[in-house]
Amino acid sequence: MAFKKEHTVATYPMKHYLENNPWRIVENGFHREYNEVTESLMSLGNGRMGQRGNFEEKFTGKTLQGNYVAGVYYPDKTRVGWWKNGYPEYFAKVLNAANWIGIDIDIEYESLDLNHCEVRDFHRELNMEEGYLERSFVAVLKSGKELRVDAKRFCSIVDDEAGAIRYAITPLNFDAKITITPYLDGAIRNRDANYDETFWDEVRKETAYGEAYIEMRTRKTGFHVATGMCVSIEQDGQRVDYQSQPIKYEKYVANRISLDCHQGQETAIFKYAVNLSSLNYDPDTIIQDAHKYIQRITRKGFDKMLFEQKQAWADKWKTNDIVIDGDIDAQQGIRFNIFQLNQTYTGEDERLNIGPKGFTGEKYGGSTYWDTEAYCLPFYLATADQKVAKNLLVYRYKQLGKAIENGQKLGFTNGAALYPMVTMNGEECHNEWEITFEEIHRNGAIAYAIYDYVRYTGDEQYLAEYGLEVLLAISRFWCQRINWSKDKQQYVMLGVTGPNEYENNVNNNWYTNYIAAWTLRYTLEAIGKIKALDADRYVELVDRLQIRPEELTLAEQITEKIYLPYDEDKAVFLQQEGFLDKDLMPVTDIPDGQRPINQNWSWDRILRSCFIKQADVLQGLYFFEDEFDTDTLRRNFDFYEPMTVHESSLSPCVHSIQASKLGMKEKAYEMYLRTARLDLDDYNNDTEDGCHITSMAGTWLAVVKGFGGMRIENNQLVLNPYCPEQWRALSFKIRFRGAMVQVTATQQDVTVANASAMPITLLVHGQSVTVAGNSQQTVAAVAVA
């Protein structure tokens, strides 16, 4: 078995037990100690449901069971030491739903449980190219019986509320009656439950020959989820008419099947399952709907479903793939990120969003963070149909009412909106005062995403239809949150937490002040645009939203007189007022063994230190790069990067993009590696909780905006690609306004292939290039700045 090579950039011990392979994540030999990490990595999903890489058969070893149904959550009662007015009552948890994969195997008096037998030839593999998970092994039971298992399963992206499993057993040295118990288990708990409560009540359950259904309802939120299964069995490739005994316990339903199995004979169990939720089905008929769904997919059959799955994934890869020639580690890393992003969000449903862990774990509640707007949106803009990115924006538009309520709760008036830091349905559910009340820059990211979408798509109509309402409400918030300082004779913003959460309650965080003033500027611009584009809509909006001239004047004044802390000597923006009073030192001065500091230092020590969790000033220079020259970026990068510990997975990608822009290729590559294989190598020692889904979009950004230098300027695609020295070639695809281009950078040149029928004119290294439909052009590579 091939092991991955050491990277030099990790500060924590990495795990090296998975094989490098360009299209697959491969575990050879069972690594029990890392099982929860592997379960996270081998998660499957289809935008509507997601399943960790758990075993089908019983397993009493280390495991985090996880099946998640999109949009179904539980408002777990808040747990805080000291209640503060304005705190939300609950923290929404993504729910661990009924186990649909379970198949218990009992051989006479012994159960198959990899925790209690010898395991040989274990192989577990996530096939990212075709979208399935497979596993095979030989279990040697205490009695000496040897059983071979070959399992394959997927969450269908074609029938996106369904999953299918083929689980084959072959006795290798015995004949026996084997009891096979496919089941649905609703007695599932969240490991992260605040008060160890169960979140589900049973509504009803049913069994029929080879079929079973269980309907569960969430406590408090009243979501219904009907999980159904249908089982068929083949021996030696022939369908078997088996006898099955229905089993029903509380929250559990199963069919117990006993079969004579002979040495060398393969018995294949096909389990088809669905998870339907009351987000899409009427609770009165949800069980019948599950029944119909099950009938439909069972008729289709496993092979056809898998065939369709492979086709559908092939289509996704056609527009999504990134090819890295010359480095399998890097290739595997980027595909893993793209695969997981596509498994998490498909953009079909504007009520859904992207949790930081997607469907791969419980942590972070599966809720929506600013990560979506700041990191994920550009990925979906460039790789999927326009409606996918639009739905991400419409999600926030639909939650505007709740954001205004949230603002009111905190004392803001006049329709001022404060979007939540963490949310499921638009209500805030984060409850640390320094984040809930102070990490308000998230409002700015939501405004910025509107700008980013319009810039990319050219869909200015969006501003009139939805965008302006959101911009105005956010601007109203900023106008009230900012105050006039008589002392400074400028507008200031007090008591905030910037993106760098290793500082709290600071005054005049440069990034927050900048994005607030920028939002005001953009809102004024949007109003002007709508007036010019659609006079009737303008009048209607001014009237309905009660836009008053004096508030526009105030907004303008703030943009002109916002305080943006700056140090003349160093010629850098200050992360916040007083930043230079800190004992400034580079991260390399942190003694060995003390990183990550958030696991080794007291919070007090972290807060007083100069160390930066993630891009903060640099986040602003990334968003608003057009407003600053390269020297400014360089000075700020050189000042802040050495103090950044990158203890948020969202951090390295921004630094990688900026390092690329500055021509710091080694740094760009180092930062890229840190993001691309974050989960595969378990850099932060926390992949067992789930994968860092939102930062995966950052990895894509590091390639496409970083190495690819992709930007949109004046409605035109701009590329400044280079191929990192460690690779032979880099190739990525982007969709832009109806065109589909593939950009390939080698050490020598850059080729732009236009896969669409229409011609496209773009800037490559500053040179205007027109590529006719279905043709390509090559230009020489340019040394990066």
Binding interface with ligand BGC (CB under 6 A): 356, 364, 369-371, 499, 501, 613-614, 648, 650, 694
From the CB of 594, what's the least distance to ligand BGC, in Å?
Answer: 19
Nearer to ligand BGC by C-beta: 364 or 433? 364
**CA torsion, ordered 430, 432, 438, 442, to nearest 10 deg:** -30
The tokens describing 6, both together, are 């050491």
Nearer to ligand BGC by C-beta: 113 or 373? 373
From the CB of 12, what's the least distance to ligand BGC, in Å?
Answer: 16
Query: What does R_g of the chain's alpha carbons equal in angstroms?
Result: 27
The residue whose two tokens read 């894509």 is 700
The tokens describing 328, both together, are 């399998």
Nearer to ligand BGC by C-beta: 331 or 343? 343
Q: Does a cis peptide bond (omega within 30 degrees of 0) precede residue 565?
A: no
From the CB of 1, what's the least distance to ligand BGC, in Å?
Answer: 33
Nearer to ligand BGC by C-beta: 186 or 596? 596
Task: Give the span between the Cα atoms of 124 and 42, in whole angstroms.
Answer: 9
Task: Give the span between the Cα atoms of 4 and 333, in whole angstroms.
Answer: 12
From the CB of 635, what's the least distance to ligand BGC, in Å?
Answer: 24
**CA torsion, ordered 592, 596, 601, 606, to nearest 10 deg:** 110
Q: Could you give the angle at which helices 665-676 and 328-344 cross, rounded to 10 degrees? A: 50
Nearer to ligand BGC by C-beta: 215 or 373? 373
Task: Give the span between the Cα atoms of 228 and 272, in whole angstroms.
Answer: 8
Nearer to ligand BGC by C-beta: 354 or 520? 354
In 10 A of CB 149, how many CB atoms? 21
Nearest residue to 215 via CA among 273, 297, 277, 280: 277
From the CB of 371, what's the least distance to ligand BGC, in Å?
Answer: 5
Q: 589 Cβ partners below 8 Å, 6+ apart?
A: none
Nearer to ligand BGC by C-beta: 690 or 721? 690
From the CB of 591, what's the least distance to ligand BGC, in Å?
Answer: 23
Helix (H) or strand (E) holding 166: strand 162-171
Nearer to ligand BGC by C-beta: 43 or 207? 43
From the CB of 486, what's the least distance to ligand BGC, in Å?
Answer: 34
Distance of CA 503 to the CA centre of its chain: 25
The tokens describing 251, both together, are 């929250």
Q: What is the 3-state secondary structure (H, E, C) of 490-544?
A: EEECCCECCCCCCCCCECCCHHHHHHHHHHHHHHHHHHHHHHHHCHHHHHHHHHH
Nearer to ligand BGC by C-beta: 559 or 649? 649
From the CB of 672, what's the least distance to ligand BGC, in Å?
Answer: 19
SS3 state of residue 367? coil
Asked whether the beta carbons of 55 and 114 are under 8 A apart, the reply is yes
Classify strands 267-277 and 162-171 as parallel, antiparallel or unpaired: antiparallel
The tokens describing 184, both together, are 């649905």
Nearest residue to 228 via CA among 164, 282, 167, 280: 164
Task: Give the span between the Cα atoms of 98 and 69, in whole angstroms.
Answer: 10
Q: What is the 3-state secondary structure (H, E, C) of 679-721?
A: CCCCCCCCHHHCCCHHHHHHHHHHHHHHHCCCEEECCEEEECC
From the CB of 626, what's the least distance to ligand BGC, in Å?
Answer: 23
Asked whether the beta carbons of 8 and 679 are under 8 A apart, the reply is no
* Catalytic residue of the set 501, 503, 641, 647: 501
From the CB of 478, what's the least distance to ligand BGC, in Å?
Answer: 20
The tokens describing 738, both together, are 């109806």
Is position 501 annotated as part of the catalytic site?
Answer: yes
C-alpha triplet 446, 451, 455: angle, nearest 5°: 145
Q: First vs last Cα of the chain: how many Å apart?
A: 41
Residue 503, beta-bridge partner list: none
Nearer to ligand BGC by C-beta: 650 or 730? 650
From the CB of 424, what's the least distance to ligand BGC, in Å?
Answer: 14
Nearest residue to 463 via CA among 481, 451, 476, 478: 451
Nearer to ligand BGC by C-beta: 156 or 609? 609
Asked whether the beta carbons of 68 and 714 are under 8 A apart, the reply is no
Long-range contacts made by residues 402-406, C-beta under 8 angstroms, separation at least 24? 402/426, 402/427, 403/473, 404/473
Asked whether the beta carbons of 348 and 177 are under 8 A apart, the reply is no
Nearer to ligand BGC by C-beta: 171 or 620? 620
DSSP string, 549-560: HHHHHHHHHHHH
From the CB of 479, what's the least distance to ligand BGC, in Å?
Answer: 25
Which residues are designated catalytic?
501
